Copies of this chain bind each other. A is one copy, B any other.
């Protein structure tokens, strides 16, 4: 083969600048939103130039897509590895709820969700990707745990997938929506803990097999 198959190892060439730009852009977009963010702000914070941004990402749209895809992975990785499903259901629920809230209430995660909602109409494919890579995987995680508990006869639930969504909604929906709107209670950590406790209580009463009140 004459000259076509030149095996390039052009790795660290522009990768550094690309990362710098992407990190700066993520901060800017999360802080100002899509409309409020400008390429100039990104350039300034990254210490790069406009032309480089355009050569890497094509434009503001491409930059936005790159941000979402990279960030979902990073946030989800914080959710960690599937742990052992031990048999104290209420304790396990409270534990996974706590980790869930740490992840989804983090400013970055809230900002990303806000971006998806704000621009979902203009970028529907991106929103779908976000849900597939993010929330849906988390739901599936808990659904698996619920299935195991059901097989062991510890709980009574028709549809583990739906029940998982219900549980996370009980834990997070209200606080998460207020966070997205920029409205949060003063003692956030206390509010989160109470939300978890009450969610576990109602949910547990809803799925337990015997009937006596807690």
Contact = CB atoms under 8 A, between A and B. Distances in A.
B202 A122 contact: no
Contacts of A204: 206
Contact count band on A: 35 or more
Contacts of A163: 202
Nearest to A211: B211
A150 interface: no
A86 B178 CA distance: 32
A41 interface: no
A152 interface: no
A131 B181 CA distance: 9
A142 B140 CA distance: 31
B210 A180 contact: no
A130 B35 CA distance: 21
A162 B175 CA distance: 12
Given A124-B183, A127-B181, A158-B198, 17 more contacts: A33-B118, A33-B119, A34-B35, A35-B35, A114-B118, A116-B181, A117-B117, A117-B177, A120-B180, A120-B182, A128-B183, A166-B198, A166-B202, A202-B202, A205-B206, A211-B211, A211-B213
30 contacts: A33-B35, A34-B35, A35-B35, A36-B122, A114-B117, A114-B120, A117-B181, A118-B119, A120-B181, A120-B182, A120-B183, A121-B182, A124-B182, A127-B181, A127-B183, A130-B181, A131-B183, A158-B198, A159-B198, A166-B198, A166-B199, A169-B174, A173-B173, A173-B177, A204-B206, A205-B205, A205-B207, A206-B206, A209-B213, A211-B211
